[in-house]
Amino acid sequence: MVDFANLYTYIPVVLVILAPIIGGIMMGIDRKLTARMQSRMGPPIVQPFYDAIKLWGKEPFIASQLQPILAFGYFGFSIAAFTLLAFGQDMLLMIFTMAIADLCLIFAAFNSKSPYSNIGARRELIAMMSYEPVMLLAAISVFFVTGSFMVGSIYEISQPLLTILPLTFLALIPVLIIDMKKSPFDVSGSGHAHQELVRGIYTEFSGYTLALVELGHWTKITLLLAFASLFWSQNLIVGVVLAFALFFVVLVIDNSYPRLDWKTMIKTTWTVGFLLIIANIVGLIARVVILS
Amino acid sequence: MKTMTKARLKSPWVMHFDCGSCNGCDIEILAALTPKFDVERFGIVNIGDPKQADVLVVTGPANKRNQRVLKNLYDQMPQPKAVIAVGECACSGAIFHNCPNTLGGVDKVIPVDVYVPGCAARPESIIDGVVLVLQKLQKVSEGEKVD
């Protein structure tokens, strides 16, 4: 029996279904804003959906038998990671599920002889190595505040997380840049043409496998933005504005920096990201010690 | 099916191949991407990967050295696909038509759908060529026979 009296319980289900669509609209806004920053008109907001539908209707060119399965895996595990967030489950599990989704993409890229796709996959591994620890530390810093790794526990604190963990929020900027494949850290494969690796990790995908990879990517972006919006969990609208602000900062950085190499990527995330979050945690502990 | 046709017309991804052009036409193709012409507002994206491209834009005369590469790139593009020959050289070979090392126009190697003349072709005419190619893609998508 469906209990219509308690409709609030269905909000997570609706969110999970809408996650790829929200991500697609965000990518459309991204292309429009990027175009405006370069004084161009830019494509319509729904352009990513046209691209995905078109890709779905192209003749399938499969590089290896495993590739479509892994493309489905990338999409599926991204959705699974978002489901964990939407239902207020464990943050660590969410981050690991996201890592499995990324691994699916990497294995799919390794599963062909193309040197572009192979180098792109190797660089994606380095990208994972640089942002995953920052995400984990961010989850740990949330643990210091709420005393639990559950996303649901964030809703139970009275003070917004942003006022307690402002530096952790800043550390999410490089994470989002790497995950959205934006300059300066788009080493593994960029949305723009004329990079030295053709399309990097996406080179061997075409037709519906590329459409699936795009859908998975949109879901992952929605996931990260939803995680950012948790930093003001008391008021949903403020949270969404916060996520938009983070998104806008990433776009400004994308349009003002050239791409940098993987060494700079690791150095930046491991120094700036780690230091910001550790400073925040140390500050929290110091405050508790001084007050007691 | 109608949605698919609309999506195809709204997002033609273009791959550019230089068959040994003098770079005049190549610069004009890139000019179409600049803020003045901004083809991205029609969803046209310059993409480097033949497996993801819908339209192949070729500049320069086909010659004996690169005809294998050109054929290979064309074969790697999934259906539905189309080819635009941009510039006099790509259309007919122009001043190189009887050189011993060239074959003449691009249509000696791969089937060409739209010819964009000019030396160099203007960005406006290149965009016009893409619009003409979209009409062909629409017919293909709606199931009509196109020669």
pLDDT of residue A95: 93
Instruction: Report whether pLDDT(B33) > 70.
Output: yes
The verdict on a CB contact (< 8 Å) between B78 and A58 is yes
C-alpha to C-alpha distance for A224 and A226, rounded to whole angstroms: 5
Q: Measuring CA to CA, which residue among B46, B71, B55, B48 is closest to residue A120?
A: B48
- Single-letter residue type at A26: M
Q: Which domain holds residue A199?
A: 4-291
Task: Check if B143 contacts A (Cβ < 8 Å).
Answer: no
Name the residue among A38, A60, A210 with its Cβ closest to that of B52.
A210
Domain count, chain A: 1
The identity of residue B86, as a single letter, is: V
Q: Does B52 touch chain A (CB under 8 A)?
A: yes
User: Which tens digits make up the pLDDT trace of B52-72?
Assistant: 899 999 998 988 888 899 999
Q: Which of residues 145-184 of A touch B (CB under 8 A)?
A: none
Q: Kindly report the nearest CA distance between residue A151 and chain B, in angstroms.
A: 38
Weakest mean pLDDT among A21-25, A277-281, B81-85, B95-99: B95-99
- Give the model's confidence band at B30: pLDDT under 50 very low, under 70 low, under 90 confident, else very high: confident
Confidence (pLDDT) at A6 = 67
What is the Cα–Cα distance from B46 to B44, expressed in whole angstroms?
Answer: 7
- B44 three-state secondary structure: coil
Chain A partners within 8 Å of B3 (Cβ):
53
**CB atoms inside a 10 Å sphere around CB A271:** 10
Interacting residues of B87 by C-beta distance below 8 A, sequence separation 6+: B21, B24, B25, B59, B60, B94, B116, B117, B118, B119, B120, B121
| pLDDT per residue as tens digits for the range A74-130 | 999 999 999 999 888 889 999 999 999 999 999 999 988 888 889 889 999 999 999
Q: Is the pLDDT of residue B117 over 70?
A: yes
Residue A190 has pLDDT above 80, yes or no: no
- Tell me the per-residue pLDDT of A233-277, one tens digit each, with 9 for 90 and over: 888 889 899 999 999 999 999 889 888 888 988 998 999 999 999
- ipTM here: 0.87
Distance between CA atoms of residues A71 and A67, nearest Å:
6
* Average pLDDT estimate for A148-152: 86
Q: How many C-beta neighbours within 10 Å does residue A155 have?
A: 12
> What is the pLDDT, as a whole number, of residue A260?
85
